[in-house]
Structure 1
Amino acid sequence: MIKTTEIAPDIYCISIYTPEFNLQFNQFIVKDDEPLLYHTGMRRMFPAIHETLSKIINPSQIRWVGFSHFEADECGSLNEWLKVAPSAQAFCSTVGSLVNLGDYADRPPRGMAKDEIVSTGKYRFRFLPTPHLPHGWDAGMLFEETNQILFCSDLFLQTGNVEAVTGSDIIDRVRNALIKSQTGPLMGAIPYTTKTEQLLREMAALKPKMLATMHGSAFAGEGERAILDLTLLIKEVLGGR
């Protein structure tokens, strides 16, 4: 099941719900002078995402392809997108570029330092390195400064086939998903390190008005409060491990 929603001016969420995981996989496309795709989706999802994205923009016009960390749902179909968009360049953290994309990507990627900007025309995207949050050493987040949207990858993970955007508190949903992730094959997916709380508080200080997550509903509201609530939740669930 695939659906498209404009979650903010010129920013669209393409969401694929997979019943076998009871999980949504969200890709974000920014319609601007230099279109940006954030999250590529898995390789097997590429045909469906490509067809859906084609109704928003011409895929060959994509200029930027970004993601948080090296993982199949984040960048699995990267090279398929690079083939259909000849001017596109992948971008990720400097670490991600050095240890993963420099070899994986069919064209040289752009490694991003802290607070470095990607401009698409009307919109500016600031890169925030977040090592080991949500997962690997190479992780990072993206903050769109005009609409104040934080693209926060697997933070605020929610299960189920939920609405594209909600203004309701999502912490209970996140709590349920986080607790469930502590058993079975996903155990330990999100580490708790000496830097976890600091990184979350730095993101909260941006005072985002929307939190665009990879899995589940984007949250429209007081993002600072939601991130501080998440900080307490992560410490409660993961900090004692």
Structure 2
Amino acid sequence: MTEPLASIQPVGQDIWRISVPVPPSQFPGGFSFNQYLVVDERPLLFHTGPKKLFGQVREQIEKVLPVDQLRYIAFSHVEADECGALPDFLALAPQARPVCGRVAAMVSISDLVDVEPVALDDGQVLDLGRHQLVWQDTPHLPHGWECGYLFDRTTGTLFCGDLFTQPGTGDVALVTHDILGPSEAFRREMDYFSHSRDAQTMVEKLARLEPSLLACMHGSAWKGDGAALLRSLGTALAH
């Protein structure tokens, strides 16, 4: 059987999903690592992927634009699949800066790389040109004191990181069917949530943004009533 290959496909206006699959031969049932490229006056990459996948991610990005055109390299929290290849991208994109929450910048990124990060406060806007991205602090949701997400209020896209992690190789870039069921089944087997006392409050905070596209880090991106799906997640986390 031919193993799945890395790919890049559009999932929204100026938004491309890069996906590097991990076949079942390497991870039971298969898995996927997604990065999202926002093409604009100041292009942004959300997630870098692990350092070992840098070559594959770079190759996919360059099908759309040269890597040295990147201006922002953003991520939810400090973890190998979120920002493991950050130094590699910064080396090839001399005008790029890391983008993260203020806590991540303070405790990790200012020391891990030599390029000064753009440290965003909760609710702060990052202007890409056409797209306006708003940082959302969500400490410990699902994990990491520094965790947070970017919401593109221009397109209604929530770059939601590890939320709604789905098993499998994520062959379909964008779906409209249920992803909560598969993600909850995966969580029952490998619970990656911190179960913070404020989890439901933060899920509701994200739901009030009323996203119409969820850019998931693992599995397919999802289109639909994001507020309802997030509230269903909040209910599941309460049990």
Q: TM-score, normalised by structure 1?
A: 0.94
Q: Equivalent residue for 2:206?
A: 203
What is the number of residues matched between the two proteins? Answer: 230
* Structure 1 stretches lacking a partner, 5+ long: 183-188, 237-241
Q: 2 CA distance for matches of 1:80 and 1:34?
A: 19
Tell me the residue number matched to 2:9: 5
1:64 corresponding residue in structure 2: 72
- Please tell me whether the aligned partners of residues 89 and 107 of structure 1 are also in contact (alpha carbons under 8 angstroms): yes
**d(CA) in 2 for partners of 1:215, 1:97:** 24
| Residue 131 in structure 1 maps to residue 139 in structure 2 | yes
Alpha-carbon displacement from aligned partner over 1:126-166 (angstroms, at most 9, x marks no partner): 00010001110000011001110001100001000231110
Q: Deviation above 3 Å: which 4+ runs of structure 1?
A: none
CA shift at 1:229, angstroms?
Answer: 0.5
Separation (CA, whole Å) in 2 of partners of 1:49 and 1:218: 17
Residue 97 of structure 1 pairs with residue 105 of structure 2: yes
Q: Are 2:161 and 1:161 equivalent residues in the alignment?
A: no
The DSSP-based 3-state class of the residue aligned with 1:202 is helix
Q: Alpha-carbon deviation of 1:106?
A: 2.4
Q: 2:211, 2:225 within 8 Å by CA — same for their partners in 1?
A: yes
Amino acid of the structure 1 residue aligned with 2:39: K
Aligned residue number for residue 36 of structure 2:
28
C-alpha distance in 1 between matches for 2:206 and 2:143: 16
Corresponding residue of 2:185: 176
Q: Which residue of 1 aligns with 2:20?
A: 16
Q: Which residue of the partner structure matches residue 185 of structure 1?
A: none
Match of 2:62 in 1: 54
Pairwise CA distance, 1:194: 1.5
2:39 is aligned with 1:39: no
TM-score, reference length from structure 2: 0.94
TM-superposition CA deviations, 1:96-146 (whole Å, max 9, x none):
000000100121111110111111110000000100011100000110011
Alignment partner, residue 216 of structure 2: 213
Query: CA offset at residue 234 of structure 1?
Result: 1.7
Q: Residues 142 and 195 of structure 2 are in contact (CA less than 8 Å); yes or no, is this contact kept in structure 1? A: no
Q: Which residue of 2 aligns with 1:113?
A: 121
**In 2, Cα distance between the equivalents of 1:207 and 1:71?**
27
Amino acid at match of 2:212: K
SS at match of 1:157: coil
Q: Deviation string for 1:190-217 (max 9, x for gaps)?
A: 1111110000001001110011110011
Which among 226, 229, 233 is matched to residue 226 of structure 1? 229
Query: Aligned AA for 2:11?
Result: I
- Asked if 2 retains the 8 angstrom alpha-carbon contact of 1:82 and 1:106, the reply is no
Indicate conservation of the 8 Å contact 1:46/1:80, yes or no.
Answer: yes
Instruction: List per-residue Cα deviations over 1:13-46 (Å, max 9, x = no partner).
Output: 0000112232110000111110000000111111
RMSD, aligned α-carbons: 0.8
Q: Which of 137, 152, 156 matches 1:148? A: 156
